[in-house]
Amino acid sequence: MKSFVVFFLVLLFTSTQLQTQKSVFQKIEYASFDVNSYRTTKKDSVFVGLYCTINSNGLVTVYNPEDVNGPPYKYYSLQLSGYELEKIASVINSQKSLTSNLVEKKLKENQFYAGSYDYYRVVYSDGTIDSVCLIIPFVSKSFKEMDDLLDNVFYVRKNRTGVNPFNIPNDFLQSIKDCYLKSEYLPEIKSPPSFMRNN
C-alpha cells in the first residue's frame, strides 16, 4: 500500500510538472521594427518589418511583408517541435522578467547599429503580460540562441502553410511604441560612416 501511495505521488508530481511546462505562456507576439531610421517615412512612427505570434501549442503565424522564401508568401503558419517549444520556454517563462535577459545596455565605443529593433510581448498562463524592446547585441547567450532558433523558423523554414491576410493588432502597435519610448538604452539606428564601411 505504501509503495502504491509513493507511485501515485510520483505520477501526480510528474503530471503537474508537465502541465506547468505546457502552460508557461499562452501567447508570444514578436515584431522586428524600426522607429526614426532610414527605413521609416514618418517621424516617431513604428515600421514593422515582421510580425509573428506563437501559441501555447507551438503554432506560429507570420506576417512577413518582404518575404522572398515562399510560396506561400507574406502570410503563413508553421508548427514548432516539442524541442523548440522547450527551448523557448527555458528562456521565456514567468519565473523571470524579459528584461532580465538584457546583459548590456550600451554599444561599445565607435560601434554603430544599423539593424532593426526586436519587441517581444508575452501573455502567461495566469494572464500576466510582460514585454521588452531590445537589440541582439545586448542579450544573454541563452536568449540569443533562442532568437536564432526563431529567426530560422520565421525566415528560413520551408514547411509553411498559407493563411488568410490579417492586420497587426492596434494595441500591439501601441505597445511597441510605449515600450520603445521607455527603453532609453536602445541605440539610434544608423549606418557606420563611409570611411568605416570601406575598411
**CA pair distance 104, 16, nearest whole angstrom:** 36
In the structure, what pLDDT confidence band is assigned to residue 40 with cuts at 50, 70 and 90?
confident
* CA of residue 183 relative to chain centroid, distance: 16
DSSP letters, 134-166, are: E-GGGB-HHHHHHHHHHHIIIII----EE----
What are the grid coordinates assigned to 79, written together?
Answer: 508548427
The model's pTM is: 0.83
**CA pair distance 10, 179, nearest whole angstrom:** 43
> What is the tens place of the pLDDT at every residue in 135-150?
999 999 999 999 999 9
> What is the tens place of the pLDDT at every residue in 69-82?
778 889 999 999 99
Lowest mean per-residue pLDDT among 19-23, 80-84, 95-99, 114-118: 19-23
> What type of residue is 54?
I
Q: What percent of the chain is modeled with pLDDT above 90?
A: 65
- For residue 192, how many other CB atoms are within 10 A of its CB? 14
> What is the tens place of the pLDDT at every residue in 85-114?
999 999 999 999 999 999 999 999 888 898
